[in-house]
Structure 1
Amino acid sequence: MAGKRNTKTEAKIKAAFTSLMQSKGFDAMTVSDIARAAGINRGTFYMHYIDKFDLRQQLIDDTIDDLTEILVENSDDNGQTITTDGKAICDAFKEEAIAKALHYVKNDYAFFNAISRSGTDMQLYDRLKNVLKQLIVAQAKRFGEEPKHDYNGIPADYAMEILVSAVSSIIWLWIRRGCNETPEQICHIIETNKTTAPIDVLW
C-alpha cells in the first residue's frame, strides 16, 4: 500500500468488497467492480492496494490485528497466578476479553459473514486459532511457567489444539448462523465448554 492510509476511502472499499463478496463472490469480482461500488476510480484503488488479493489479505490482517489487540488488552491476570495445568490454560481466555472480541465481530458481521462463506478460504479461522494459541503461551511466559509435555496424558500440542479449536469453532459457527445469539450468550457457551467433557454434551 502506498502513501498514508485514507480511512474514509478504505472504509468505502471494504464496504464495496463485502457487498461484492455476498453478491458475486471473490473469484468473479474485479477491481473495476470494487472501484465502481466504492464510488472511486481504479487509480485510487491502486493507491491503496495492489489487486483484489492484496485487498482481501490486508482486510484479514487488519481484522486479526484488531482482535489480537482486544484479546491482549483485556486478558490480564487480575492478580491470579497462572500455571500450565489444564484449568490455567483455560483461564488464559478471560470472559471479558472474549466478550469484547465477540462484540467486535457482531458489529462488523457483514464482513465476517462474507469472509466465512468465501469458498475454501479458512484463513481468518486459522489465524484466530493462532492468536488464541499465542495468548495462552504469552500468559504462561508472563508468570515464568515452563510448558508441560502433556496434560492428563494428552501431548501438549494436541491439548492446545483441542482447546483453541473448541473456542474458534464456537465463534465460527456463531458467525455462520448469523450471530443470532448475543456475545454474552456465546461467552456463556465458551465458559461452560471449559468444564464440560465432550461426552457430556451428547448424553
Structure 2
Amino acid sequence: MTERRDRRIQRSRHALKLAFQQLLQDTSVEGVTVSNVAAKADVCRGTFYKHFDTKEALYQEVIEDVLEDLVISYRFPYQDRTEFVPADLAPGSIQLFEHVYRHQDFYRAIVLTDSVPGFQDKMCRVLRETAAKDLVADLPSFQPELAAAYFSQALFGLTAEWVRGNFMYTPAYMAEQLLLLLQAPAAVKVRVSPMTNEGV
C-alpha cells in the first residue's frame, strides 16, 4: 500500500513539474499561476498544495532537478575513470544531449523565450565550475578556468542551436557532432570566401 502511494505521489509531482515547464513556453515565471499548473497537470489545487507550498517552491525544485541531472549527464563519460582523452570518447558515452532532450520543454523555454531569466548564466556557471574542478590537462600553459569557460559557452551554444532547430537531430547525432568538433585538428585549413562590402 505504501509503495503504491509513493508511486502516486511521484506521478503527481512529476506531472506538476512537467506542467510548469510546458507553461513556461508561453508565459514568464511570474505569469504562471497555481491554477494554471494544476489545470495543465490535470489535478486540483489541493493536490498542488499537498506537494508544494508555493509556486516558487515548485519553480526552485524544477531548477534544482534540471541542474542536478545536467551535472550527472556531463560527468557520465568520465565518472569511473582517472584520466581520459575527450576526443577518444564513444558517442554513446556522451549523455549531455540526452539530458537536454529529457527536459526539452524547459530548454525550449530558456532558449526561445525570456521565461526563465538568468538560467543560461546559471547553466554555464555549473558546467564551468564542474569542468574546472573535475578535469586537469597535462599541459604547462593550460589554464583550466579559461578552458572550462570556453567549453561551457560552446556547449550551451550547440545546445541552443539544436533547440532552435526544434530538435531535428537525435541526441546520438548531436553527440557525434560534438566529438567531431573535439577531434578536428587544430591545423585544419579553412577556406575563406571572397570578401565583399555587401551589407556593410
Fold match by TM threshold 0.5: yes
**Counterpart of 1:159 in structure 2: which amino acid?**
A
Query: Is 1:96 aligned to 2:92, yes or no?
Result: yes
Flag the 1:57–1:24 CA change in 2: closer, same or farther, 3 A. Answer: same
2:100 paired residue number: 105
1:7 paired residue number: 10
Flag the 1:135–1:95 CA change in 2: closer, same or farther, 3 A. Answer: farther
Shift of 1:118: 4.0
- 1:93-146 CA deviation, whole Å, 9 max, x = no partner? 774332x23123224422321243341624156325523541453243xxxx78
Task: Measure, in 2, the Cα distance between the counterparts of 1:191 and 1:129.
Answer: 22
Query: Is 1:65 aligned to 2:75, yes or no?
Result: no
Pairing partner for 1:138 from 134, 143, 156: 134
Task: Measure, in 2, the Cα distance between the counterparts of 1:156 and 1:15.
Answer: 36
Aligned-pair identity in percent equals: 21
2:123 paired residue number: 127
Structure with higher Rg: it is: 2
Pairing partner for 1:114 from 109, 118, 123: 109
- The TM-score normalised by the length of structure 2 is 0.71
Task: Measure, in 2, the Cα distance between the counterparts of 1:166 and 1:72.
Answer: 17
Task: Measure, in 1, the Cα distance between the counterparts of 2:167 and 2:179.
Answer: 18
Pairing partner for 2:170 from 179, 182, 199: 182
Task: Measure, in 2, the Cα distance between the counterparts of 1:123 and 1:201.
Answer: 34
1:75 paired residue number: 78
1:51 paired residue number: 54
CA contact (8 A) 1:174 1:180 kept: yes
Task: Measure, in 2, the Cα distance between the counterparts of 1:123 and 1:39.
Answer: 27
Structure 2 unaligned spans of 5+: 1-5, 193-200
Shift of 1:167: 2.0
- The TM-score normalised by the length of structure 1 is 0.70
Q: How many residues align?
A: 184
SS across alignment from 2:11:
helix
Flag the 1:165–1:72 CA change in 2: closer, same or farther, 3 A. Answer: same
Shift of 1:55: 1.5
Query: Is 1:26 aligned to 2:29, yes or no?
Result: yes
CA contact (8 A) 1:14 1:59 kept: yes
Pairing partner for 2:42 from 39, 44, 54: 39
CA contact (8 A) 2:66 2:103 kept: no
RMSD (Å), alpha carbons: 3.5
